[in-house]
C-alpha cells in the first residue's frame, strides 16, 4: 500500500516536472525572435531557469521511479526503448545548453536590441521536436514494447 502510494506520488511529481519543462520550452519557442530587447532577454532568462528546473526535477523523479519506487529497475534497464528515451532526454539537454548560456549571458541586459543567432532559434525548435518524441517512447514502454 505504501509502495503504491509512493509510486503514484513520484509519477505525479515526474509528470508535473515534465509539464513545467515542456511548458517553459514552448514559451521560449513562442517568445524568441530574430531580435529581442533587454526586457525580453530578462524574461526569457527566467523562463529558461524554469525550463532547467523542470528538466532537473523530471530527471530526479524519473531516477527515483527507475531505481527505488515501482517496478524493479531491471524492468527498465533491460528495455532498449527506455535507453532510447534516456538518450533523447540527454540529447534534449545537450540542445538546451547553448540557448541556456545565451539567456544567462543576457539575463541583466538593458540593451535595446539583441541579435538572436538563427542557429539558436533552430536549436529551440529541435528541442521541441525531441521533446515530442519522449512521450511516444514512454507510451510504447507502457504497452510492453521493448520488454523481453
User: In this predicted structure, what is the pLDDT of residue 8?
Assistant: 94
pLDDT digits (tens, 9 = 90+) for 93-112: 999 999 999 999 999 989 99
Residue that is written with C-alpha cell 541579435 in the block: 115
Contact indicator for 47, 143 with CB cutoff of 8 Å: no
C-alpha cell at 47: 523562463
pLDDT class for 2, splitting at 50, 70, 90?
confident
Q: What is the CATH number of domain 2-142?
A: 1.20.120
Contact indicator for 114, 37 with CB cutoff of 8 Å: yes
The answer to whether the Cα torsion of 68, 139, 24, 5 is positive or negative is negative
pLDDT digits (tens, 9 = 90+) for 6-44: 999 999 999 999 999 999 999 999 999 999 999 999 999
C-alpha cell at 15: 509528470
* Nearest Cα to Cα of residue 116 among 44, 54, 32, 51: 32
Q: What mean pLDDT is reported for the chain?
A: 94
Amino acid at each position: 500500500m505504501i509502495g503504491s502510494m509512493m509510486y503514484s506520488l513520484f509519477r505525479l511529481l515526474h509528470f508535473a516536472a515534465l509539464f513545467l519543462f515542456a511548458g517553459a520550452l514552448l514559451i521560449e519557442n513562442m517568445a524568441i525572435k530574430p531580435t529581442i530587447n533587454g526586457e525580453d532577454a530578462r524574461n526569457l532568462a527566467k523562463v529558461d531557469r524554469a525550463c532547467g528546473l523542470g528538466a532537473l526535477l523530471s530527471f530526479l523523479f524519473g531516477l527515483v521511479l527507475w531505481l527505488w519506487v515501482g517496478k524493479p529497475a531491471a524492468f527498465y534497464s533491460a528495455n532498449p526503448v527506455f535507453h532510447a528515451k534516456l538518450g533523447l532526454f540527454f540529447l534534449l539537454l545537450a540542445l538546451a545548453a547553448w540557448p541556456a548560456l545565451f539567456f544567462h549571458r543576457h539575463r541583466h541586459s538593458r540593451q535595446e536590441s539583441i541579435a538572436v543567432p538563427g542557429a539558436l532559434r533552430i536549436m529551440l525548435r529541435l528541442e521541441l521536436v525531441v521533446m515530442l518524441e519522449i512521450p511516444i517512447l514512454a507510451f510504447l514502454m507502457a504497452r510492453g514494447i521493448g520488454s523481453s
